[in-house]
Structure 1
Amino acid sequence: MVDRQNKEAILGLLREDLEALEDTVKGKQRAGVLTDLELAIKTMQDDIENIERSIEDQSQAHSTTSAVLSDQNMLMSLARQERIANEDHQLAVALNNGQRPPRPLSGNTEPQPVPDENIDPVSIILEDLLTRISVRDEVGNAEGSSRVVSSYQSTTRRVRCVSCLESHDAVLSMDRCGHEYCLDCTRQMFLGSIRDEELYPPRCCGNVIPPAVAMRVLSYSELREFSQRALEWTAKDRVYCADPTCSTFIPVFAINNDHGTCPECHQQTHLLCRSLAHPEMDCPLDETLPLVLDIAEAEGWKRCPHCRTMVELLRGCNHMTCRCGREFCYACTATWKTCECDLWHEGRLLDEAQQIVEEEVPQNAGHAVRQRALDGAIQNLRQHEDDGCEHHRHSQWAWRNRGSLQCDVCFHYLPEYIFMCRNCRMRVCWDCRRNRLR
């Protein structure tokens, strides 16, 4: 629980951040007209004032709450007796009906104390902003094909964490897939999304974890870093400080006309040439970019149309998903399903089909058998995009312990087994299947 003094300190820091942000956008539009950012700032400032008033009310109510909690042992004893009586009744009914006795819910453990449900003021203020940042692309992507976000549940149930496989108090329960996480593994998912864009937004089996969870498991400094990364990971055509010793991401609200001001070193970057500001001078020539683009063209690499990252297709069809989440055609870089390019490059199609034959057909099989298997594999691969893959459905995956055991997402080699999609034959490890696939 955050004490009153710390709460007031946090609110003061947030107020200063909002005032600094407000100063950067003043005077950039018609008088009397608020931009979306200014409106959001004003709303959050109003929230801070409301929270300050509620802190005073909460302090007055604390003595009453303490009195109630002092009777907790007696209430827990009564609750335990009621639970045992209810289980005895269920056991008697099952035995009377000749059914298998239900599994006891209480076991031999005593009820846990009631957890403190006071909400950190950081959660209240930033939840709306982070929710819009984190879920925006998931909700609006691919013609409404986004998945429902799971709810966050605060509980003290002992469960087997799906990530570390150890018994801990459950901190996160995902409604759609049923997976449950402990505190440390939940925190590591959010910290991972700060370091690795491919893990953002944090998700389990394709379901985005609500940003409100971050308020519960991250420290204040980690929460600020997470919100900054959220702005970066969701930005289109990202701009970074041109000073090579800095390279800090420049958010949209720090861009004015053709220049962006770095929030770290405060130098200006010229957006048109991506170099440091050069008033009344021609843009300097970038001698390295043309060389990189020439190499990319020779190697067949492409640039993501959203984040401009260089992408290489090693195997599979032309349906490419960038680490930023954008789906596009690898042949022409158009948004996926908006072009008429072939699904497969013939060379990669043949390589994939031959690998299937090597794994599925015995080595001593005759030429005719292997040729029929090759033709069948080619036909199946050509139509797999029409069939569609539901990579977050359990039955979509097959357990394999032969053939390639390298994960197609993180490229790690697995020592014993790997999961393979029955449709597109993608091979992934358990961590990537659960937390990386979109």
Structure 2
Amino acid sequence: MALSISKAIYNDGVALAVAAQEENRALADRMTAVRMAGQPQLAQQQPLQRLAAEMAHQATRALESRYATNRPDDAMSLDGASVSCTAESSKDAARRHLKNEPMSECVACVDSFPHSDMIEAPCAHLYCRNCTTKLIEDSLVDESLFPPRCCRLHIPLSSVRASLGHDIARRFEAKSIEREDPYRTYCSNAACAKYLMPYEVYGYIGSCRHCQRQTCTLCKRRVHPGTPCVDEHGEVLNLAREQGWQRCARCRNLIELGIGCNHITCRCRYEFCYVCGVEWKDCTCELWDEERLLLRAQQVAGRDQVEPPAQVEVARVAQNLLERHECDHNGRWKRIDQGQQCEECHDYLPDFILECRQCHLRACARCRMNRL
């Protein structure tokens, strides 16, 4: 129950921080509309806007304060007095575990460790402490791995906090707010480029607490009071339109589809249609472009073959792709013992690759468990 309460507090904190920023932006919109209409600004608008900014600040600080007052190395006695705890040395712990406990294999590094030292993911896969920490740390710098998950099930912070330490847990909380922020803005100072927390944004101006640079949250450039935003990326966006590229509505990244269906999952986990750009599946667009379907079918049918695949085999694979386009990869994967490139992260695996028996996607073990 304590873990459930902790999770609820964490989720509410993230939601409050983002909601407060929404209120801040709404107030800024209202003030802009009033000015454009030539109407006098109401006296209470400025206090309201400050209140919205303060809400965002308090919600974010509340997340941080939980770690400032509840450090993992602190403890309390039953009467409320502070108790000093001395950690057991790793060598002593290892000897004790080896004598009394069964060993379990880590699904990531495949080394064996005492079972009590393992961390169980919601899907029942076991991770050692080092691999758990690495997965969390990697998710903080690679958006496609966030939130950390195994077999498409999110690994709750409450289940791994004891293994992470204060610093990583605090960074995880901050990253959660960043990933949930639909208007995320980064410092326009290229040497800084830090994410601007909701409480650092006042109206449409973000003030970086690290370098004090002010950034316009609309055009993402240095603040430009009294002048309209200038689009310095117009040529790139024009090229994107000419080439038929799409832009993610959430994170605004440009995406070019080479081979595959029109169901796009951005690295920020937003799903949309590549044809029209709306959220998946709120449109009537076709799932596959015929040319891309044929290219993918030829790619799959021609794997590991010297000669081009027969047309009948290409047609069979194409039909399978049409039927399996929403593959959840939950079936058994086939191991192929030869060097291959992962179709997800594009890393080259010299020893083996895994292939989904349903849709024939080839991926490394890490992408299979933590990215797909």
Whole-angstrom CA distance in 1 between matches of 2:130 and 2:253: 32
The partner residue of 1:421 within 347, 351, 356 is 356
Question: How much does 1:376 deviate?
Answer: 2.2
1-side partners of 2:66 and 2:177: how far apart?
22
Instruction: Give the Cα–Cα distance (whole angstroms) in 2 for the partners of residues 188 and 374 of structure 1.
Output: 41
- CA distance in structure 2 between the aligned counterparts of 1:413 and 1:334, rounded to whole angstroms: 33
* % identical equivalent positions: 33
> How far did 1:331 drift?
1.3
Equivalenced residues, count: 313
The match for 1:389 is: 327
Identify which of structures 1 and 2 has the higher relative contact order when contacts are C-alpha pairs closer than 8 Å and 6+ apart. Answer: 2
8 A Cα contact 1:405 1:417, kept in partner? yes
Which secondary structure does the structure 2 equivalent of 1:275 belong to? Answer: coil
Specify the SS of the correspondent of 1:399.
strand
Answer whether contact 2:271 2:280 (CA < 8 A) is retained: yes
Structure 1 contact 171–186 (Cα < 8 Å) conserved: no
Query: Is 2:179 the counterpart of 1:233?
Result: yes
Counterparts of 1:215-294 in structure 2, within 5 Å, are 215-280=161-226, 282-283=227-228, 285-287=230-232, 289-294=233-238
One of 242, 250, 268 as aligned partner of 1:324: 268
Distance in 1 separating the partners of 2:59 and 2:186: 26
TM-score calculated relative to the size of structure 2 = 0.72
1:179–1:272 CA distance, 2 compared to 1 (3 A): closer
Equivalent in the alignment of 1:398: 334
* Local SS of the residue matching 1:276: coil
- Deviation string 1:283-303 (CA, Å, 9 cap, x unpaired) is 35333x012213323443321
Equivalent-residue separation in structure 2 for 1:36 and 1:261 (angstroms): 14
> Which residue number corresponds to residue 106 of structure 2?
161
**Residues 193 and 43 of structure 1, relative CA distance in 2, 3 Å threshold:** closer
After TM superposition, the score normalised by the length of structure 1 is: 0.62
Paired amino acid for 1:111: N
Matched, 1:380 2:320: yes
- Deviation larger for 41-50 or 203-212: 41-50
**Pairwise mapping of residues 103-182 of structure 1 onto structure 2 (< 5 A)?**
110-111=99-100, 158-169=103-114, 170-176=117-123, 178-182=124-128
**Root mean square deviation, CA, Å:** 3.7
Q: 2:148 aligns with which of 172, 193, 202?
A: 202
Which ranges of structure 2 fall in alignment gaps of 5 or more residues? 1-19, 25-45, 87-96
Query: Would the aligned equivalents of 2:204 and 2:216 in 1 still touch at CA under 8 Å?
Result: yes
Mapped partners of 1:167, 1:364: distance in 2: 44
Deviation at 1:37, TM superposition (A): 6.8
CA deviations on 1:106-152 (whole Å, 9 max, x unpaired) are xx96336xxxxxxxxxxxxxxxxxxxxxxxxxxxxxxxxxxxxxxxx
Asked whether the equivalents of residues 214 and 223 of structure 1 are also in contact (C-alpha less than 8 Å), the reply is no
Cα 1:278–1:29 shift into 2, 3 Å: closer
